[in-house]
Amino acid sequence: MEKYNFVALILAFFAGYIFKTITYRIMVYNQSSEFVKSLADRMLTLLGTVVYKMAIVDQMCVLAMSKLQDSEEAKILRNQMQDNFKEWKKEIIQDFKDKYPAEFDWQVEFIDWQGAMEELTSIYKKGSE
């Protein structure tokens, strides 16, 4: 009888250890997921701020160029700046998605710049509530 009690104790110990390990791993995964999502949200917020300020600087540059030089040259400069800006936005979103941890890919809900800005809008709305 004591032999069966000892075996039962050993099995209970291992069952408890396995349960604790699984529970701990799930908890750590959830906390890591929240951490990564929080950083991604802050990164999108920073990106939105940078883009907004870059757009203002670009507009000031084009305005200054139009007053100093030929307006046709200012239009060409503005178009070049807009093209470069669009290309940069595509690259930054692609890099963001490529560098995002693979375990948490399911958190990224956007595929392009417009989707990222919609996500940023929802982040701002959540923050204001």
Q: How far is it, in rounded angstroms, from Cα 40 to Cα 20?
A: 30
Q: How far is it, in rounded angstroms, from Cα 63 to Cα 77?
A: 11
Q: State residue 3's pLDDT score.
A: 75
Does this model's pTM top 0.85? My answer is no
Q: State residue 25's pLDDT score.
A: 93
pLDDT digits (tens), the chain, 129 positions = 677 888 888 899 999 999 999 999 999 999 999 999 999 999 999 988 998 898 888 888 877 877 776 777 777 888 888 898 889 989 999 999 898 888 888 888 888 989 999 998 888 888 776
Contacts of 82 (CB under 8 A, 6+ apart): 58
Both tokens of 59, joined, read 């507009």
CB 44, CB 107: distance < 8 Å: no
